[in-house]
Structure 1
């Protein structure tokens, strides 16, 4: 059992103790205690990051470290180039339906993302295969749904798409770095809205909502991409969560206040 889970149990225990000790207080005081407890547990969200260590995560510590509550992934100047994308993988389970929120900040040349409902790509160390909420420093792709090592792009920024079940006449393939059978159902944001939604070089919020076959990615509260995955052959209903450092030039990605709420 990792420290985060232990902390969650201790928090619940402490809450019950607090209620017991204040049984004689007024209704107003009790209401205040309930409100404070609700704020403490984030209405069902649990923290995913230990403030000072990589406890609860698995990955290559030459690329990942914690710095005063901030998870840092970095390819340093002069370092040996990465040969393949590397992930820091959360050991808290394999969620299916959930809401994940995090703040992120990325350097101009950075390339990262949050993988979910993923599985290990065992041919390489610390590699994942699955859905990814993309994040890049130039914000050409931030918020899109890119399926790592499988169907590639499932929805570009500003798109609501459907991925149909394969048929003999339309099996689907990765073509031009996108899944050939994807159907664009709607436009979620204009080019101007997409250009202004991310604060370059600053902290931004990403939110992933995975519920049944609907996968929604939000940046700073704006719905950026949404996939209705009806592909019963390739879709995944649960799996691992991980954060990525992508092959390429020196870069830095930072995450903080990462939390998750299980929906079922």
Structure 2
């Protein structure tokens, strides 16, 4: 009887906590593991779903240009968590997670905005895609060597809170950046990238986002 009372009490506490959490405080799944619902991009040639993951590119065929699979809605302040695996056999093996971004019209396959970068010399750094076209801040290579699981699944986190951006790789802080330019947009789409120019394949799964106030 006492055991049952404890179970009921615990359930009541969980219900009470969930009641007081606003929608902006709860993490939601961005990818359901089986469909592209809530996403848009080249799902005919570039992007596919395999074993509960979004997969882009190929280890056997050269990716002709950058491609992005994007959310259909914008986000401003958030904590984004996901898992990624990047593999390749030739050329520039690179990918990344765009955020506070938008699609360009020329070329139509590109995006402009922040990117939590992935790939040799770029792991877990912050890049400014199609805008300033440079790495804004990067971690020490010695740290990456310690924490990166090359060719395996890694945990990735991007926390964007007003002007402050933090990136974590496998639980380790790699970027802590505060945007000094007030003209840079602080909201936009989230996009999953496979970079062009190499025989490379990237997979993303367990994608969750928690919007912040």
Q: TM-score scaled by structure 2?
A: 0.85
- Checking the alignment, whether the CA contact within 8 Å between 1:134 and 1:141 is kept in structure 2 is yes
Aligned to 2:29: 47
* Structure of higher RCO (CA pairs closer than 8 Å, 6+ residues apart): 2
**Residue 117 (structure 1) shift:** 0.3
Which residue is equivalent to 2:189? 240
Structure 2 CA distance for partners of 1:231 and 1:198, relative to 1, 3 Å: same
CA–CA separation in structure 2 for the residues paired with 1:108 and 1:250? 6
Give me the whole-angstrom Cα distance separating, in 2, the residues matched to 1:148 and 1:101. 20
The answer as to 2:37 corresponding to 1:58 is no
1:224 Cα deviation after fit = 0.7
- How many Å apart are 1:142 and its aligned residue? 1.1
Q: What SS is found at the alignment partner of 1:122?
A: coil
Check if 1:115 corresponds to 2:88: no
1:250 alignment counterpart: 199
Residue in 1 that maps onto 2:134: 153
2:29–2:207 contact (8 Å) kept in structure 1: yes
- Once structures 1 and 2 are overlaid, which stretch shifts more, 69-78 or 196-205? 69-78
Contact kept in structure 2, 1:49 and 1:69, CA below 8 Å: no
Unaligned segments of structure 1, at least 5 residues: 1-24, 159-189
Once the two structures are overlaid, the 10-residue window that deviates more, 238-247 or 61-70, is 61-70
Q: What secondary structure does 2:198 align onto? A: coil
Structure 1 counterpart of 2:8, from 29, 37, 61: 29
| Contact in 1 for aligned 2:80/2:159 (Cα 8 Å) | yes
Which of 194, 198, 202 is matched with 2:152 structurally?
Answer: 202
CA displacement 1:66-104 (0-9 Å, x = unmatched):
11211111135246x51x31100111x211110000011
CA distance in 1, matches of 2:6, 2:144: 48
Q: Distance in 2 between matches of 1:78 and 1:144?
A: 26
User: What is the rounded CA distance, in whole Å, between the counterparts of 2:8 and 2:77 in structure 1?
Assistant: 35
Q: 1:27 to 1:197 in 2, by over 3 A?
A: closer
Bigger share in strand: 2
- Counterpart of 2:76 in structure 1 is 96
Instruction: Tell whether the 8 Å contact from 1:154 to 1:227 is kept in structure 2 after alignment.
Output: no
Which one has a bigger Cα radius of gyration? 1
- Could you say if the C-alpha distance between residues 103 and 34 of structure 1 is closer, same or farther in structure 2, counting changes exceeding 3 Å? farther
Contact 2:59 2:87 in 1 (8 A): no
Please report how far the alpha carbon of residue 260 of structure 1 lies from its aligned counterpart in structure 2 after TM superposition: 0.2
- How far apart, in 1, do the equivalents of 2:212 and 2:164 lie? 13
